[in-house]
């Protein structure tokens, strides 16, 4: 196993890329620590599969280097990288039995028969297919075939990393949770570096210790679920993570005050001078209603979702959400919105600005 380093990596599918827009992956530097459980999260088309295929060697990057430990593998073929990859749709040998499919990567490596049998039995138990081991893969459902693909990705213990590219797309919803739990326990047991690609924030936040958020060919932030919630590095992360996402307001920032449409809002920290478009971000969980103080708020509609209520409304014509515990009464004369000052983040041109003194 090894730490994976991406150095000045960029990729364009065009033969002669000109501007940045021609790059599916803009230049990035990134380190995947050995043994980490990562999720790579972003909307469809943001470059997740491109990045994964570059790591596994299916794709050669237009620029930059890939290192496994201290070894440069940029020009090494897929087989030499010792990586297991599971794709969105099943890749199985139809004429082989389930057992033969699962054993395939081990047979290829010349492992002994006793070990192969024991290991395949163990993996079959994880994916819940012990009863079907002697069945031919042909004729199984897409769902069962994808479980075989997952099992085959996990069967080798000696891989540098396991890459999962939206592997649960064709899996039955109730089985998804089960398999995700199995992947987590596999990670705990064997400590492989795992990178799990998904566009679903719940999947990402439940699987991973660290989530890497991508948008439009760029890595915007890598952080724990808590960091992404408390301190989104970019307004997109604030908006993409959470449901509903972070509220954003254009604001003038000076010291520990923000001014929004002429109304002053206290910040939880002090800020130095900044340039560009300045905004504050506050999550719906840290907003409340008031009668007298705060920005003018107009309630549009109230939704009851499980254990909380979402109050959807607007501030100066822009949509804003508040979440409150279930059963919260909303007074008719509550026409102001208040923010918890210490939960406010400040952004300049989309990027979070650290308050004075942070990190010291
Ligand atoms: P994701 O996996 O996040 O959905 P992809 O990495 O598949 O995103 O795609 C990133 C961008 O690169 C998209 O704009 C997509 O259309 C483009 N792209 C992906 N594969 C190819 C390809 N083989 N040839 C040309 N463009 C591609
Ligand atoms: Mg993809």
Q: 50 CA distance to ligand 1 centroid (A)? A: 6
Question: Which one, of 357, 350, 356, lies nearest residue 279 by Cα?
Answer: 350
Show pLDDT as tens, one digit a residue, over the chain (360 residues).
Answer: 689 999 999 999 999 999 999 999 999 999 999 999 999 999 999 999 999 999 999 999 999 999 999 999 999 999 899 999 999 999 999 999 999 999 999 999 999 999 999 999 999 998 899 999 999 999 999 889 999 999 999 999 989 999 999 999 888 888 888 888 888 888 888 889 999 999 999 999 988 999 999 999 999 999 999 999 999 999 999 999 999 999 999 999 999 999 999 999 999 999 999 999 999 999 999 999 999 999 999 999 999 998 899 999 999 999 999 999 988 888 888 899 999 999 999 999 999 999 998 876
pTM beyond 0.85: yes
The pairing of beta strand 83-86 with beta strand 161-165: parallel
For residue 166, give the ligand nearest its CA.
2
Ligand 2 centroid–CA 48 distance in Å is: 6
Query: For residue 236, what are the β-bridge partners?
Result: none
pLDDT for 332: 84
Q: Does ligand 1 come within 6 angstroms of the Cβ of 46?
A: yes
Instruction: For ligand 1, atom 1, name the residue with the nearest CA.
Output: 45
As a whole number of Å, the end-to-end CA separation of the chain is: 34
Specify the pLDDT at position 111: 96
Task: Residue 183: name the closest of 150, 145, 144 by CA.
Answer: 150
Indicate the burial class of 41 (C-beta count within 10 angstroms; 0-12, 13-18, 19 or more): buried
Cα 8 to middle of ligand 1, angstroms = 19
Decide: 24 in ligand 1 pocket, CB within 6 A: yes
Which three-class secondary structure state does DSSP give residue 3?
coil
Please, what are the domains in the chain? Answer: 4-12+25-232 (3.40.50.300), 247-353 (2.40.50.140)
Q: What pLDDT is stored for residue 360 in this prediction? A: 60
How crowded is the C-beta side of 253, counted as CA atoms within 13 Å? 29
Confidence at residue 1, expressed as pLDDT on a 0 to 100 scale: 66
- Mutation choice for ligand 1 from 13, 25, 42, 85, CB with most ligand atoms inside 8 A: 13
Q: What is the pLDDT of residue 169?
A: 86
Quote the CA–CA distance of 134 and 5 in Å, as a whole number.
41
Report residue 2 CA to chain centroid gap.
21
Closest by CA position to 246, among listed 196, 283, 280: 283
Does the C-beta of 45 come closer than 6 Å to ligand 1? yes
Enclosing H/E stretch for 265 = strand 263-271
Does ligand 1 have an atom closer than 6 angstroms to the CB of 47?
yes
Give the pLDDT confidence score for residue 39 in this predicted structure.
Answer: 96
């Amino acid at each position: 196993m090894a730490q994976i380093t991406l150095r000045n990596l960029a990729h364009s599918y065009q033969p002669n890329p000109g501007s940045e827009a021609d790059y599916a992956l803009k230049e990035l530097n990134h380190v995947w620590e050995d043994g980490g459980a990562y999720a790579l999260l972003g909307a469809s088309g943001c470059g997740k599969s491109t990045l994964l295929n570059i790591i596994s060697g299916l794709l050669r990057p237009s620029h930059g280097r890939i290192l496994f430990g201290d070894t440069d593998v940029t020009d090494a073929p897929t087989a030499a990288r010792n990586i297991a990859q599971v794709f969105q749709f099943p890749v199985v040998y139809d004429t082989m039995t389930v057992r033969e499919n699962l054993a395939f990567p081990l047979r290829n490596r010349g492992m002994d028969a006793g070990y192969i049998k024991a290991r395949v039995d163990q993996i079959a138990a994880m994916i819940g297919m012990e009863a079907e081991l002697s069945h031919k893969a042909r004729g199984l459902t897409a769902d069962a075939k994808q479980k075989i693909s997952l099992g085959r990705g996990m069967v080798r213990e000696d891989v540098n990393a396991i890459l999962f590219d939206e592997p649960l797309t064709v899996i039955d919803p109730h089985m998804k949770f089960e398999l995700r739990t199995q992947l987590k326990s596999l990670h705990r047991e064997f400590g492989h570096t795992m990178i799990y690609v998904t566009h679903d924030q719940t999947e990402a936040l439940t699987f991973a210790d660290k989530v890497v958020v991508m948008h439009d060919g760029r890595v915007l932030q890598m952080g724990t679920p808590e960091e992404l919630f408390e301190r989104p590095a970019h307004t997109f992360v604030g908006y993409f993570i959470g449901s509903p996402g972070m509220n954003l307001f254009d604001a003038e920032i000076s010291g520990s005050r923000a001014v929004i449409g002429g109304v002053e809002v206290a910040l939880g920290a002090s800020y130095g001078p900044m340039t560009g478009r300045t905004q504050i971000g506050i999550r719906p969980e840290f907003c409340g209603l008031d009668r007298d103080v705060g920005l003018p708020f107009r309630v549009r509609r109230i939704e009851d979702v499980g254990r909380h209520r979402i109050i959807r409304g607007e501030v100066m014509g822009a949509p804003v959400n508040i979440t409150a515990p279930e059963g919260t009464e909303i007074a008719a004369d509550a026409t102001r919105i208040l923010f918890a000052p210490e939960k406010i983040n400040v952004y300049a041109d989309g990027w979070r600005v650290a308050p004075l003194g942070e990190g010291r």
